[in-house]
Amino acid sequence: MTFDFTPEQDQLRDAVRALGRRYGHGYFVEKAKAGEHTTELWAEAGRLGYLGVNIPTEYGGGGGGITELAIVCEELAAAGCPLLLLVVSPAIAATVINRHGTEEQRKRHLPGLADGSQKIVFAITEPEAGSNFHRLGTVARRDGDDWLLNGRKCYISGVDEAGHVLVVARTEDSSTGKLKPALFLVPTDAAGLTRSKLDMEIVSPENQFLLYLDDVRVPADALVGESLDAGLPALFAGLNPERITVAAMGAGTGRYAIERASEYTATRKVWGGRSIGSHQGVSHPLAHAAVQVELARLMIQKAATLYDAGRDLEAGVAGNMAKYAAGEAAALAVDTAVQALGGAGMTTEYGVATLLGAVRAGRIAPVSREMILNFVAQHVLGQEKSY
């Protein structure tokens, strides 16, 4: 057992940290409040190869795994730039296409995902289904050689920035007559696909949308994989990378908040000549938050290592635990940082309250803490399924 990263992974961490700090949280917040996107940061990260670290070299990527992509997610977040589309495009879409797409789909999409010139977002959540993907109402039906898609999706990130959306739908199995999942690469400008922006109480340059699919026609090769049998494996292929990279982003955000608070409390003096950080009422909560973040980082490392080793079932358990731990730790760290800074913690200038909405959402999405506890109770503790 080792807790050491390779020299190449350490170099990647240092390089991404340097890039993130050149932009910083001020840039992130400025873009978000102006209703703009972090286009410059994304483009530079793509040019430097950071967006494609988990994509095979033959398609223009770095040939690494989710471990490397988690490093990118964490370090940008630790610099105050938690980019949600890193989770959606390189982690989910690129993994699904690489593992279960056709060779033509890999050649068409992976190079652009690797260099950042292309973004593909992910659409699974629906208003009536929630966490139960078995109740998905979006249906794809054959129409000659094409497919027609109908349904609704909600909380879909970054549709306004992407060229394609990876839509999870249900198709009829001709042998059984039952509906089973399938994934489709749908152009965001396809006829019949409309969107409505959701107003969110989160400071983020990435927007959330409702999607409406009304007889959206796509060709046969929009179906991910060689056949409908690829649907369920392709869907699950994206879930572990999603949880691991979301967790990494949460851990990085927690690190950022603790660093900001620690700098402040080490120098702020209001009672004689001692810093406020010398008082245990201030330092102990920060230390406790730091412990929780570090524990989450260890579970993230374990989950990513298992996933990259091809141990999907074990990675599923560890990935869920990592997501739970990081979600809780990030929310604790940001809240503790705000409290330690007092009134300054609520200002935009000090850059911690701007993350409150995001870390609170991290306890809900992409899978809620309650559903993770259900998963652990059932699959780890052997309890009867409760839902």
Choice among 94-98, 107-111, 225-229, 341-345 with the minimum mean pLDDT? 225-229
Quickly state the pLDDT bin for 172 (edges 50, 70, 90).
confident
Whether 149 shows a pLDDT value over 80: the answer reads yes
Q: Tell me, what's the pLDDT at 175?
A: 60
Residue 89 near residue 120 (C-beta atoms within 8 A): yes
Give residue 174's pLDDT. Answer: 58
The pLDDT, as a whole number, for residue 177 is 58
What is the per-residue pLDDT across 79-92, written as a single tens digit (0 to 9) for each?
999 999 999 999 99
- pLDDT score recorded for residue 173: 65
48 φ/ψ angles, rounded to the nearest 5 degrees: -80, -5
Tell me which DSSP letter residue 160 carries.
Answer: G
Distances, alpha carbon 228 to alpha carbons 1, 101, 222, in Å: 40, 11, 12
Question: Which tokens in the block code for residue 375?
Answer: 């998963």
Which percentage of the chain shows pLDDT scores above 90?
Answer: 90
Say what the pLDDT of residue 254 is.
Answer: 98
- CA separation for the pair 159, 207 (Å, rounded): 8
User: Considering the chain, what is the average pLDDT of its residues?
Assistant: 95
Could you give the count of Cα atoms lying within 13 Å of 107 in the half-sphere of its Cβ?
A: 3
Residues 387 and 379: their CA atoms lie apart, in Å, by 14
Checking if the pLDDT of 53 tops 90, the result is: yes
Q: Is the pLDDT of residue 338 over 90?
A: yes
Q: Which residue has the tokens 């190079």?
A: 111
pLDDT average, residue stretch 52-77: 98
CA 183-187-190 angle, to 5 degrees, is 115
DSSP structural state of residue 228: G
First to last CA, the chain: 37
Q: Which helix (H) or strand (E) holds 30?
A: helix 7-33
Of 148-162, 168-182, 286-300, which range is least confident? Answer: 168-182
Identify the band that residue 37 occupies on the pLDDT scale cut at 50, 70 and 90.
very high
Is the predicted pLDDT of residue 271 greater than 90, yes or no?
no
Q: Is the pLDDT of residue 278 over 70?
A: yes
pTM to 2 decimal places: 0.96
| Residue 272: predicted pLDDT | 81
Amino acid 292: pLDDT:
98
